[in-house]
Amino acid sequence: MILIVDDRPENIFSLRSILELHSFPVDAATSGEEALKKTLKQKYALIILDVQMPGMDGFEVAEILSGNSQTKDIPIIFLSAVSTEKKFITKGYNSGAIDYIIKPIDPDILLLKVKTFIRLYEQNRELNLMQENLRSEIEFRKKTEQQIQEKAQELHGILEAIPHIAFTASSTGIIDFVNDNWYQYSDSIAKFIPSHPDDPSISAQWNDAILSSRALETEVRIKRLSDDVYHYHLLSLLPVKENDSIVKWVGTYTDINEQKLAAKRKDEFLTIASHELKTPLTSIKAYVQLLDSVTPEKTDTKPFVDRTLKQVNKLDNLINDLLDISRIESGKLRFDLHETDFDQLADRTIEMLQQIYPDIEMHREGTAGVKVLANEVRLEQVIINFISNAVKYSPGSKELHVITKLSPGGKVYFGIRDHGIGISDKDRESIFNKFYRVSDSGSTPQGLGIGLYICAEILRRHDAEFGLESKLGEGSTFYFMLPLFKN
Ligand code: ADP
């Protein structure tokens, strides 16, 4: 918008006509005072200012405008009746653009000057805007940088205070901070704490974690610089995210040596105890079986002999499981795999289980019709465990489904679906771990939590995939998928 200031309405009229004809929006004031009032309310791109006016003249108006930060940059074109020295005209108005036109006005010259000044004003405004944006961008960056620094300092303070070895690394895995404890194990921030030569490589695992953006948790043995003894530590590496992208990694080493030694002592005890128990139990079992075979049916003692045999068998299974665990731990769970007809193996096992659980209806769905590479005894053990669990953890349910099919991936799928208590998502992740039991299974029977751990190990040795699907309160499906036998 252009403001025309002139005490003569006819002058305003002619100027307005010229400018409006060329699409410039125009406003007008008939005195200096009115012009000043208007500039406070409205932003003008240019003021065309008559020099000779009664009351406040053009120079005074310009002087006041130049003193106000809001108006000082508005370009001014003075209108003067007489040819006046430019130096004189610029009096009192030293900042901003300025020019003059002698009356009578030549419309072409006026338009040329107006266009130039408007363009100048626009450019100036854009420049100012850019400068303003730049200033706030710099402010914002400074503030963010300061916040990041404060956060990092806070984090470093916390990491210094904890008893663990702790460090942080950039999003690409370059270590940029280590706490004091680090230096008991490494002499430099640039040298990652070396782990036992027999432990899996940390750098490979770490690279994987960074590439997949996933947290890492692994057990490693490390030793103090002052020491020659390796201690077990749990190394955990967690990503720190901001707006869903990783900005940092925080790593800690927690000393778990005591727990590891205690677990080792417990395993050793279980191994010794189960071996010691196995020998006398084998004799007891043999004697009870003998007693059972010589006790005539329908005598008073027969039910007691039957019950004793049943309990002895339970104890025998339990001790066999414990022995299996110690074999797994010591890497001595060894068995061979042979060409095996899967359907025959499944039929035989289920038939045997049907006799143990005569009240449960086991619905068979599908057959495999193929051979697999398996150890029959061990695979039977897995099926027995899955089905026994399905019965055990489905109180009140009288049926389960046994599903056999060839999976699209060219494997034999075998699943047991029950209608039992089900398993929560949280428990599902750990259910195949050693000694893991669901803590809240209500009044349902509880075992030792070793059956599935052994199954998992057996299935791994078969190169099988395995898992479960489950919904709490609705039931579970435990399954495995075995590779086919290939000649
Ligand atoms: P155990 O049955 O001897 O405790 P397992 O290793 O066979 O040990 O099973 C571990 C845990 O998994 C069980 O304690 C039980 O809580 C849960 N579980 C196993 N099978 C099922 C199932 N079919 N339905 C619900 N829970 C199950």
Q: What is the pLDDT of residues 250-262, one digit of tens each?
A: 999 999 999 999 9
pTM: 0.60
Q: Distance from the CA of 385 to the center of ligand 1, in angstroms?
A: 9
Return the bridge partners of 166, or none: 252
Place of tokens 């060839």: 406
Q: Give the number of the atom of ligand 1 that is nearest the alpha carbon of residue 441.
A: 16
- The preferred substitution site among 421, 433, 452 for testing ligand 1, maximizing ligand atoms within 8 Å of CB, is 452
Q: What's phi and psi for 323, nearest 5 deg?
A: -65, -40
Q: Distance from the CA of 410 to the center of ligand 1, in angstroms?
A: 29
Place of tokens 């699907």: 469
How far apart CA 386 and CA 173 sit, in angstroms, is 43
Q: Distance from the CA of 397 to the center of ligand 1, in angstroms?
A: 16
Q: Give the number of the atom of ligand 1 that is nearest the alpha carbon of residue 385.
A: 7
Q: Give the number of the atom of ligand 1 that is nearest the alpha carbon of residue 436.
A: 10
Closest among 122, 101, 115 to 24, alpha carbons compared: 115
Residue nearest (by alpha carbon) to ligand 1 atom 16 = 438
Q: What is the DSSP letter of 247?
A: E
| Lowest-confidence region among 90-94, 101-105, 230-234, 399-403 | 90-94
Query: What is the per-residue pLDDT for 441?
Result: 55
The SS3 assignment for 70 reads coil
Q: What is the length of the chain? A: 487
84: pLDDT confidence band, cut at 50, 70 and 90?
Answer: low
Closest among 114, 118, 44 to 79, alpha carbons compared: 114
70: pLDDT confidence band, cut at 50, 70 and 90?
Answer: confident
* Structure token pair of residue 300: 């008073």
β-pair type (46-50, 76-80): parallel
Average pLDDT, the chain: 90
Query: What is the per-residue pLDDT for 477?
Result: 98
Place of tokens 């679906």: 417
The SS3 assignment for 54 reads coil
Section 398-407 average pLDDT: 95
Section 91-103 average pLDDT: 64
85: pLDDT confidence band, cut at 50, 70 and 90?
Answer: low
- The preferred substitution site among 319, 394, 419, 431 for testing ligand 1, maximizing ligand atoms within 8 Å of CB, is 431
Q: Distance from the CA of 188 to the center of ligand 1, in angstroms?
A: 48
pLDDT exceeds cutoff 80 at 443: no
Q: Give the number of the atom of ligand 1 that is nearest the alpha carbon of residue 475.
A: 24
Q: Distance from the CA of 247 to the center of ligand 1, in angstroms?
A: 41
- The preferred substitution site among 321, 357, 384, 389 for testing ligand 1, maximizing ligand atoms within 8 Å of CB, is 389
pLDDT exceeds cutoff 60 at 87: no
> 254-290: string of b/e by CB count within 10 Å (b at 16+)?
eeeeeebeeeeeebeebbeebeebeeebeeebeebee
Alpha helices in 101-201 (DSSP H): 107-161
| Lowest-confidence region among 84-88, 114-118, 227-231 | 84-88
Q: What is the pLDDT of residues 410-421, one digit of tens each?
A: 899 999 999 999
Q: Give the number of the atom of ligand 1 that is nearest the alpha carbon of residue 390.
A: 23
Residues with CB under 6 A from ligand 1: 385, 389-390, 393, 418, 420-421, 423, 431, 436-438, 441, 446-453, 476
How buried is residue 456: exposed, middle or buried, by Cβ count under 10 Å (0-12/13-18/19+)?
buried
* Structure token pair of residue 473: 């309160």
Q: Distance from the CA of 449 to the center of ligand 1, in angstroms?
A: 7
CA angle 267, 269, 271 (to 5 degrees): 70
Q: What is the pLDDT of residues 333-353, one digit of tens each?
A: 889 999 999 999 999 999 999
Cβ atoms of residues 328 and 297 within 8 Å: no
Residue nearest (by alpha carbon) to ligand 1 atom 9 = 449
How far apart CA 125 and CA 111 sit, in angstroms, is 21
pLDDT exceeds cutoff 60 at 86: no
Residue nearest (by alpha carbon) to ligand 1 atom 13 = 437
- The preferred substitution site among 428, 437, 476 for testing ligand 1, maximizing ligand atoms within 8 Å of CB, is 437
Cβ atoms of residues 68 and 35 within 8 Å: no
The string of DSSP letters for 444-473 reads S----S-HHHHHHHHHHHTT-EEEEEEETT
Section 121-132 average pLDDT: 89
Closest among 326, 367, 327, 314 to 345, alpha carbons compared: 367
C-alpha 244, offset from chain centre: 7
**Radius of gyration in angstroms for the set of CA atoms belonging to the chain, rounded to a whole number:** 45
Q: Is the peptide bond before 483 cis (omega within 30 degrees of 0)?
A: no
Residue nearest (by alpha carbon) to ligand 1 atom 20 = 389
Q: Distance from the CA of 439 to the center of ligand 1, in angstroms?
A: 10
360: pLDDT confidence band, cut at 50, 70 and 90?
Answer: very high
The SS3 assignment for 352 reads helix
Q: Distance from the CA of 437 to the center of ligand 1, in angstroms?
A: 6
232: pLDDT confidence band, cut at 50, 70 and 90?
Answer: very high
Q: What is the pLDDT of residues 298-332, one digit of tens each?
A: 999 999 999 999 999 989 999 999 999 888 888 88
161: pLDDT confidence band, cut at 50, 70 and 90?
Answer: very high
92: pLDDT confidence band, cut at 50, 70 and 90?
Answer: very low
Q: What is the pLDDT of residues 31-66, one digit of tens each?
A: 999 999 999 999 999 999 998 889 888 888 988 988
pLDDT exceeds cutoff 80 at 442: no
Q: What is the pLDDT of residues 454-476, one digit of tens each?
A: 999 999 999 999 999 999 999 99
Q: Distance from the CA of 263 to the center of ligand 1, in angstroms?
A: 22
Section 376-394 average pLDDT: 95
Q: Distance from the CA of 444 to the center of ligand 1, in angstroms?
A: 10
Query: What is the per-residue pLDDT for 203?
Result: 87
Residue nearest (by alpha carbon) to ligand 1 atom 8 = 449
Q: What's phi and psi for 162, nearest 5 deg?
A: -85, 155
pLDDT exceeds cutoff 60 at 452: yes
pLDDT exceeds cutoff 50 at 226: yes
453: pLDDT confidence band, cut at 50, 70 and 90?
Answer: very high
Closest among 55, 54, 65, 57 to 98, alpha carbons compared: 65
Q: Distance from the CA of 389 to the center of ligand 1, in angstroms?
A: 6
